[in-house]
A and B are shown apart, each in its own frame.
Chain A
Amino acid sequence: DAGITQSPRHKVTETGTPVTLRCHQTENHRYMYWYRQDPGHGLRLIHYSYGVKDTDKGEVSDGYSVSRSKTEDFLLTLESATSSQTSVYFCAISEWQGAQGGELFFGEGSRLTVL
């Protein structure tokens, strides 16, 4: 299995509080991604990173920010959590090869409940 660790794996928080989810990899892959998974929506991309301090938005980035200060860590922050951000969050990594693409390796997910 690819070396990807998400923390925390489960979190319950209250509306309006800040939350940070961490993704740590030991594979030295350049690309890292944060997705959220909700019933009826599949997986939707929140943000992704293509290098240290290089990030870009996905399709559902509102209310989320990310940071990548080291190759191995990609942080997802909810500045002020809302109930609509209750979801399962997945981190993924990849060595994307230009037009050839690349497979994504996923972490085990972080289940966030916002009350």
Chain B
Amino acid sequence: SQQGEEDPQALSIQEGENATMNCSYKTSINNLQWYRQNSGRGLVHLILIRSNEREKHSGRLRVTLDTSKKSSSLLITASRAADTASYFCATSDQGAQKLVFGQGTRLTINP
């Protein structure tokens, strides 16, 4: 079964707007990661946030983690057409050396 579940499944916004995607998970984790997948390509790592961190930034990306609610959010600010992709959260359980992925959010940025 999937550990992470993203919400919404699909999101369509205008270029320049902010995009927020959410991820919920079920068990205690060591860290949570976000990946991007362009159509027909492999996944690319965006950001990793550890269980003892609450917020992390990388360029136009902002990730938050709330371990009490077992949830994370990915915010992309000032979106661009090139941000059109699917975004996945992934978690690693404590003691595991592997990632479990959610089903992803399909983000479409309209010019």
Q: Are B48 and A103 in contact (CB under 8 A)?
A: yes
Give the number of residue pairs across the A-B interface with Cβ within 8 Å. 62
Contact among A40, A42, A48, A96 for B101, CB-based, below 8 A: A42
Question: Which residues of chain B come closer than 8 Å to A96, judged between CB atoms?
Answer: 97
Q: What total of chain B residues lie within 8 Å of the partner, measured CB to CB?
A: 26
Residue B45 lies at the interface, judged by CB distance under 8 Å to chain A: yes
Chain B residues engaging chain A, CB cutoff 8 angstroms: 1-2, 30-31, 33, 35, 40-45, 48, 50, 88, 90, 92, 94, 97-104
Given A42-B102, A58-B98, A104-B90; 10 other pairs, CB 8 A cutoff: A41-B2, A42-B101, A44-B101, A45-B100, A48-B97, A59-B100, A94-B97, A101-B31, A104-B35, A106-B44
